Structures are given as structure tokens and as C-alpha cells.
Amino acid sequence: MQAPTGGEDLLLLEAPDDDLAIGLALMNRLARSVDVKTEYDGGADWSHLTPTDLDICILRLRQSTFGNHVVSDVRCRAAGCGEQIDISFGIDQYIGHHIPTRAAFRGRGWTAEPAEEPGSFRLTSATTVRKDAPPAVDVASTSRANTCPSVDKVGVLFRLPTIADLMAVAGLADADEELARKCIRGLVSVRQRRLVETAMEAIAPSLTHDLQGVCPECGAEVRVLFDPRRYCLGELRDRAAFIYQDIDVLAHRYHWTESDIVALPRIRRMNYAEAARQEGPRSG
Ligand SMILES: [Zn+2]
């Protein structure tokens, strides 16, 4: 990840209100693959990743900007209470809690394994999966014992919905259907589709979840929905809002152009602007 500049601040403040598109644009500007050794030219396209990957990236960006600790204040909704409660947690802890594991498939009688085609998965009976087996399992030729017929007879193939997929179906009346058509191979029954959707959630889980706490005043359980994309972009946007004043102060003091100031790493711009505010404008 590159350090953000004023360019990212202006994007947060001025782009149309679409967190998915803004998150992707930020990631394209700041993140680059460690596998690519060439000089970064800012032209990455991460739209082939899942929304889960995007949210992890946004959480990491938030972590590098404000630190690991998140404190969210909510009001207790218990009758007659209304106490203000801080719910706090660490981003490392939150991400660690959501890392996909095979335990998500335990006891289901079926699982999902990578298929031959890169990026695709196959629903398969849990009994056909061995540790030493190649990732792709030909379910048609394996034992039928204890298998889940509706899975094994067809061997449903699917891939995970990507950011590009979500953007393509956004606003469509039948967005869910269209997403299924893009990501699930062939015609599947309602039950198979439900299994595929469960598998997708297990492999690339949504990071939007309820946070739980206990009200110190009345002892009631408190739940609040945490949407990391919305929450972290909101925080980053609040901080970005100072860019207009920073440009004004620095242009007055040093006679730098707007584009020069915008190109500064954010932290350096903020420090210059803070120093300039304390000293007042330089004469001449
Ligand atoms: Zn309470």
C-alpha cells in the first residue's frame, strides 16, 4: 500500500456517493501486487477481487491512518436506559475473527473445492475430500456412500462474485439472479443455489457483522451493525475534509500550486499546514 496523498482525499470527498466504487478506486490507486516488481504507475485494476478482499484492504488503510483501535459509540436501546456505550475492538482482531476456515463446512456433508479452472470451485461431498487429494475432485467417479445426491450428480461449478460483478448488476431489478447467472455454471435447483451461496459466504465471508457488548448501566445486551466499508470510508472522509483548508493555508504561505499540494503525502501536508497555521501567513 502506498501512503495516501491529497488525491485520495479529494476522491473521498468529491466522487459520487458509492462506497464500492470509491473503495475500488482507492485500492487501484494505493495497492499494488508484491509479485509485480515493476515501478508502480498507479494503473492497477483490482475489480477481479471479491468485496471481502476490498473490505480487508479498506480496514488496513484505516488501520495505517488511525491505528488498530476502533471505538464506536452507541446508545443502549433497553427501555428506560439510553446509556451511551463505547464498543471498542481491534482491526487485527476483527479480521482474524473473519478469516475463512474449513470449519465453516464441518458437519454439512458437502464442501467446496477449487476446480480445474482457475478461480472456480466445485461443490462436492465432504467424504470425497482427502488431504492428499488433488484440489479438483471428479465427484462422478467417487464413492456414493454418505453423499449428498443433489450436489454430486451435477457437481455444481461456481466462482466467487467479484467487485466487477457487483458493479455490473448494481441497480438491476433482478440483481441477485443476474449475479447467480454470472457466477454459477449451468442450471441449478433452488437447493443447489442455496448451497452455492452458503459456500461463497464460507470462502469469502461478508465482513459486515453485528458487534456485541453489554450495557454497563442496565446489563442489557447491545448489538450494533458494523459495516467496515461504510464506517472506515466515513472516518477517512471526515479527516479528508481538511484538505481544502490545508490547500488554502499552504498556497498562501508558500505559494505552491494546488496540484503540488495535492500530490504531497497526506501526513506531510497536514504537518506543513499545522505549522503554517501556528505561525500565520508569511509576508511578501
Ligand atoms: Zn442500558
Per-residue pLDDT tens digits for 40-54: 555 689 999 999 999
The residue type at 81: C
> Distance, CA 96 to ligand 1 centroid (Å)?
29
> Distance, CA 116 to ligand 1 centroid (Å)?
53
> Distance, CA 226 to ligand 1 centroid (Å)?
19
pLDDT at 236: 96
Residue 198 CA to residue 192 CA, distance in Å, equals 10
> Distance, CA 210 to ligand 1 centroid (Å)?
17
> Distance, CA 137 to ligand 1 centroid (Å)?
52
Contacts of 88 (CB under 8 A, 6+ apart): 69, 70, 71, 72
pLDDT at 141: 33
> Distance, CA 1 to ligand 1 centroid (Å)?
41
pLDDT at 109: 82
Across 112-124, b (16+ Cβ under 10 Å) vs e yields bbebeeeeebbbb
- pTM here is 0.84
Instruction: Determine contact, residues 53/169, Cβ cutoff 8 Å.
Output: no
Average model confidence (pLDDT) for the chain?
86
> Distance, CA 84 to ligand 1 centroid (Å)?
8
> Distance, CA 33 to ligand 1 centroid (Å)?
46
pLDDT at 281: 56
Q: What is the pLDDT of residues 171-214, one digit of tens each?
A: 999 999 999 999 998 778 888 899 999 999 999 999 999 988 88
pLDDT at 152: 52
* Residue 32 confidence (pLDDT) above 80: yes
pLDDT at 72: 83
> Distance, CA 89 to ligand 1 centroid (Å)?
20
pLDDT at 142: 35
pLDDT at 214: 87
Q: What is the pLDDT of residues 100-138, one digit of tens each?
A: 888 888 878 888 888 888 899 998 876 654 444 444 433
Question: In which element (H, E) is residue 71 found?
Answer: strand 69-75
* Residue 162 confidence (pLDDT) above 70: yes
Mean pLDDT of 87-91: 92
Of 24, 271, 33, 59, the closest CA to residue 11 belongs to 24
